A = this chain, B = another copy of it.
Amino acid sequence: MSHTHIPIYRAVMEDSTRWAEATRALLTERRQKLFNFIGSPGAGKTALLEALARALKGRVQFAVIEGDCAGTRDAERLAAEGVQAVQIVTGAGCHLPAESVHQVLRDLPATGLDFVLVENVGNLVCPAAFDIGETAKLAVLSVTEGEDKPLKYPTLFRQAAATVLTKVDLLPHLRFNLAKCRAALHQIKAAAPVFELSGKTGQGIGAFADWLLRQK
């Protein structure tokens, strides 16, 4: 456990499109983009952000907002990569509320920051239903979860600007069928590009980082 100082925000539990709109206005004013990474617990979101941090270093200025029910472990992992990281603790809250995200964004530098990468609470259902004023939602699905997940949790995958398939280094040990996964995404009319990568090995991170940079 590192002893880096991590700012902690307690999540406010009132959700409001007002705060999402305030965030959108602030992002436009500051010319910043905010990406909302959503996926199950253990989908590899933090490992993806760690790998992205290394891939984006020197190419774009960014900060990370971590959402968790408890603890500051994820923000510490990002801080260890030299990234400015803020933790929002939600307690029993199953998603990041727009107000908390706005509070954190307001306190981040108004200039010299291009991207804010938000890791939502590990949950494939609820965060998809709550607008936090993001530029785009990004769906994160690990191949260990199975190729049927877009059919079972379509709300997120339909809205996402991209779907990121993580942990592809484990594919040789799994029954995961990539073609079926793409067919499932097609079936629910998810038009977004699909990136296959591994946060652990770094495989495929470059292509996703390049795509993200093009959203600047």
Contacts and interface: CB of A to CB of B under 8 A. Distances in A.
Interface of A: 40-42, 68-71, 73-74, 92-94, 121-126, 129, 142, 144-146, 148-149, 151-155, 167, 170, 173-175, 200
B69 A145 contact: no
Contact of A153 (B41, B74, B124): B41
Nearest to A128: B92
A68 B152 CA distance: 6
B121 A122 contact: no
Contacts of A149: 41-42
Given A68-B152, A122-B152, A125-B123, A142 B94 contact: no
A69 B123 CA distance: 13
A94 to B, nearest CB: 4
Give me the 4 closest cross-chain CB pairs, A-B, nearest first.
A42-B145, A144-B144, A94-B125, A40-B40
